[in-house]
Amino acid sequence: MTPVLLAALLAGSQGLSAPELWELWPQTRFVSAAAPCLRHQGLVERLKALETKHQGDLTLEEIGRSFEGRSIHLLRLGSGPRKILLWSQMHGDEPSATPALLDLADFLLSRPEQPEARAILAGTTLLMIPMLNPDGVERYQRRNAQGIDINRDALSLATPEGRLLKLIRDRFQPELGFNLHDQNRRTTVGDTGVLATISLLAVAGDAQGTPSTGRARAKRACAAVVSSLRLLLAGGISRYDEDWSPRAFGDNLTAWGTPVVLMESGGLAAGRPLADLTRLNFVALFSVLADLVRDDLAGHDPALYENLPRNQEGAFSDVILRGGQILLPGGRDPFRADLAFNALESDLSRAGCPSAPPAVGSRITELGDARFLAAGRGVEAQGAVLVPAFAVSVRGGRAREWLTAATLETLARLGVGVVRWQVEAAERGATAEAAQRLSGPARPRVVVAGSDEPEAGLRLGAPPAASRSSTLAGVLEALAGRAWRDRLASQSFTELLTGLGAGSPMAGEPASFLVLRPAPDGSLDPEQAHLEAVWLDGREIR
């Protein structure tokens, strides 16, 4: 179709707005699996279904195989003169765009009544390589099965996947490429503290960023993505912060004559599902292609892209308790410090994939001044005292009669982070197995030790009683009867309290700590101070 006919097709058409595309996606998406759960086999099944559904309107070609022999496919649709290359998941653990490519192909081919869909198919030939790195996907890792980062292999071409990408580029000489990735989900938009949900780069073809017609178009394409997505994202769009990467594909494709737009899907505000990233990719790609065929993106000012705040790393933690006092073992006085930590949950478990590893773990990222760190969840801790979670000792293999999951959950609510289970050498194997069975989220960690090793914290001879009071005295009483009071003859309560902790320094460790509310006079008087909250390995228990 000539440009004149295309213009006629689109004349008077309002086009689909980003919010309209956003609303359409759930009922029109072609891939129902969450992006992190989609593996090679699932992709091939959906590609074949797409081919069957649109027989004659698209071609599906196996262009080659990965290092381990998995098929890599080129999906071709549209009959226009403008060739556009889109590829996804050259990093195996960066999946968000892969389903979006199939969703987009199906959407375009299923809506002949929609002028923009018709115009895109008439004006362009879309060349899609979904999941360029299937071996990496299978392991859910960045690199391919050779251990090579395909996106640093554009010059040496040691990977079969990289060679295929170059082959397709050279065979079709597309005028524009879209390189679709995911970035660190804690990247922020400059110093705004807002997560960078989408980051863009009009990739340079040389270190100087020499301007060219194609690169100017790539910048307008980035601006078009900003225009559409800013209707859906409050501030979450940034400029990718690396201008020139001489071994990367985007840079070299640009140098070879196919200017590339790098689009990175990143973090989402708390509570938003990862599927929103696939949905945003779908909206962005449709919008940019529609404007490309409408008027070569003439309505988009590159400055909108160029003036985006840049990506910032290391400026965000999942949870920050602000303004509390920290009391560490051996320290007599608490000191003021913020406490920031991240949950170590993978995308696989976040998306609920069947193959997902259990979602456990946390790491403290900052202990000190976190005023310049943004948080997914901020907790005001003014006036509170934070101490390491308690450790308790249990002796003898027979404790398995009462050391049950329910007991551990009660211990967790009482502030216990570690149970040290000390047994004779002969009992060690069976005890380790029992401890393994008892492990789980929101429970104390059970560590098996020798009977001759020193005890930690309070000794527990029986399951804890229900705590009648949340005062520190009530909690310690529930754990170990009156035993803790005997120690007060030889040490202060503060020394006792910090001595009961697991004892490790907090920074770099799992986030297991207690939030105490001091007595009205500011002291940790056991009869008046309260156990306000328990955090075990990043989870809030009470």
Binding stretches for Zn ion (CB under 5 A) = 91, 94, 181
Cβ of residue 142: shortest distance to Zn ion, in angstroms? 7
CA angle, corner 213, sides to 305 and 222, nearest 5?
20
The least CB distance from residue 74 to Zn ion, in Å, is 20
Contacts of 8 (CB under 8 A, 6+ apart): none
In the complex, minimum distance from the CB of residue 94 to Zn ion, in angstroms, rounded to a whole number: 5
- For residues 533 and 415, the answer to whether their CB atoms sit within 8 Å is no
Q: Compute the distance between CA of residue 438 and CA of residue 432 in angstroms, rounded to an integer.
A: 10
Q: What is the DSSP letter of 377?
A: E
Query: In which residue are the tokens 């000489």 written?
Result: 173
- Between CA 18 and CA 23 the distance in angstroms is 9
- In whole angstroms, the minimum distance from the beta carbon of 363 to Zn ion comes to 22
Nearer to Zn ion, 93 or 366 (CB): 93
Residue 488, number of CB atoms within 10 A of its CB: 12
**Least distance to Zn ion, CB of residue 461, Å:** 54
Cβ pair 343, 510 in contact under 8 A: no
3-state helix, strand, coil in the chain (%, to 5): 35, 25, 40
Shortest spacing between CB 41 and Zn ion, in angstroms: 22
Distance CA 80, CA 84 (A): 10
State the minimum distance, in angstroms, from the CB of residue 183 to Zn ion. Answer: 7
Nearer to Zn ion, 58 or 72 (CB): 72
Instruction: State both tokens at 239.
Output: 């400029």
The C-alpha atoms of residue 187 and residue 181 are separated, in whole angstroms, by 14
Rounded least distance, CB 27 to Zn ion, Å: 30
Q: Identify which of residues 124 and 159 has a Cβ nearer to Zn ion in the complex.
A: 159
CB 502 within 8 A of CB 455: no
Q: How far is the CB of 96 from Zn ion (least distance, A)?
A: 11
Question: Rounded to 5 degrees, what are φ and ψ at 316?
Answer: -145, 135
Query: CA–CA separation, 502 vs 306, rounded Å?
Result: 50
Of the pair 94, 103, the CB lying nearest Zn ion is at 94
Cα separation of 237 and 143, whole Å? 26
CB closer to Zn ion, 36 vs 501:
36
Q: Which is nearer to Zn ion, 93 or 318 (CB)?
A: 93
CB of 182 to Zn ion, least distance (A): 6
**Of the two residues 244 and 335, which places its CB atom closer to Zn ion in the complex?**
244
Considering the complex, state which of residue 5 and residue 155 has its C-beta at the smaller distance from Zn ion. 155
Q: Where are the beta strands (DSSP E) in 15-113?
A: 58-65, 71-77, 82-88
Residue closer to Zn ion (CB basis): 139 or 230: 139
Give the shortest CB-266-to-Zn ion separation in angstroms.
Answer: 11
Tell me the C-alpha distance between 514 and 415, whole Å.
6
Cα separation values, 486 from 467, 470, 477, 478, 490, Å: 20, 20, 12, 15, 8
Question: Is 52 in contact with 106 (CB distance < 8 Å)?
Answer: no
| Closest to Zn ion by CB, 181 or 186 | 181
> Are 182 and 264 a contacting pair, CB within 8 Å?
yes
Tracing tokens 């790609």 back to the chain, one arrives at: 285
How many Cα atoms sit within 13 Å of 289 on the Cβ side? 33
125 vs 146, which CB is nearer to Zn ion?
146
